[in-house]
């Protein structure tokens, strides 16, 4: 059975997190991806992900929407999907969702995802968080939103930036209930020590 996943990319730094998720979803034949990018996401694409163009990113999704199109299918609660991910999520978008300010398609799609009680994953990319950021995220968490900041793990012995990105992608796929082996998983302390010894031996 095909799963419909909505992916929104905002203007926060960390565009590559959204792109890697799109690539993972595109490789899964059981997933139909619906994509919306904010204007500043497109600007960041040119600055941060120089190996990608807007055309190549759009090609990773089955359906692509304009962020200004509040008449799009994903703006309605009657559009059934299996989860929405905002990655990366700017603090502006987090604030808009927390206050119900559905003034663009990303915020509106998130609003209807909440009201229909469907999974909503938010990947906030900001540091440090101020009190407003924290209060907005707490408000969303209390509504059932999954807040998944791209904080790296090191037990899996990452060797490259790609390893760190892949680990976050694995988490997002897990929370979308999509089986994957995108990154090394925790196998217990003994296995972690053995892996560390092997890495040191081959270094």
Q: Is 13 annotated as a binding residue?
A: yes
In CATH, what number is assigned to the domain containing residue 10? 3.40.50.1950
pLDDT band of 161, cuts 50, 70, 90: very high
Quote the number of domains for the chain: 1
Q: Is 4 annotated as a binding residue?
A: no
Task: Compute the distance between CA of residue 58 and CA of residue 62 in angstroms, rounded to an integer.
Answer: 8
Residue 34 is part of which domain span? 3-202
pLDDT > 80? residue 120 = yes
Name beta bridge partners: 36: 8, 65
pLDDT band of 100, cuts 50, 70, 90: very high
Report the C-alpha dihedral over residues 150, 155, 160, 165, rounded to 10 degrees: -20
**C-alpha 56: how far from chain center:** 18
Q: What is the pLDDT of residue 167?
A: 93
Task: Compute the distance between CA of residue 8 and CA of residue 24 in angstroms, rounded to an integer.
Answer: 15
Q: Is 14 annotated as a binding residue?
A: no
Going by the DSSP 8-state scheme, the letter that residue 11 receives in this structure is S
Tokens 């976050």 -> residue: 168
Q: Is 12 annotated as a binding residue?
A: yes
Q: Is 38 annotated as a binding residue?
A: yes
Q: Nearest 5°: CA angle at 103, between 52 and 37?
A: 10
Q: What is the pLDDT of residue 183?
A: 67
pLDDT > 70? residue 201 = no
Mean pLDDT for the stretch of residues 37-51: 92
pLDDT band of 124, cuts 50, 70, 90: very high
Q: Is 160 annotated as a binding residue?
A: no
Of residues 60 and 153, more confidence is placed in 60
Q: Is 155 annotated as a binding residue?
A: yes
């Amino acid at each position: 059975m095909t799963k419909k996943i909505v992916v929104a990319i905002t203007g926060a730094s960390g565009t590559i997190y959204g792109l890697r998720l799109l690539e993972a979803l595109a490789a899964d034949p059981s997933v139909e991806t619906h994509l919306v990018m904010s204007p500043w996401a497109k600007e960041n694409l040119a600055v941060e992900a120089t190996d990608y163009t807007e055309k190549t990113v759009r090609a990773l999704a089955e359906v692509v929407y304009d962020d200004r199109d509040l008449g799009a299918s994903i703006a309605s609660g009657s559009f059934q999907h299996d989860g929405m991910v905002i990655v990366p999520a700017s603090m502006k978008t987090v604030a808009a969702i927390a206050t119900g300010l559905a003034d663009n398609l990303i915020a509106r799609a998130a609003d209807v995802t909440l009201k229909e009680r469907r999974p909503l994953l938010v990947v906030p990319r900001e540091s440090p968080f101020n009190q407003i950021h924290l209060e907005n995220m707490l408000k969303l968490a209390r509504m059932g939103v999954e807040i998944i900041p791209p904080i790296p793990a090191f037990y899996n012995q990452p060797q490259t930036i790609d390893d760190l990105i892949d680990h976050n992608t694995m988490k997002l796929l897990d929370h979308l209930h999509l089986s994957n082996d995108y990154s090394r998983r925790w196998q217990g302390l003994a296995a972690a020590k053995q892996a560390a010894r092997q890495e040191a031996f081959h270094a």
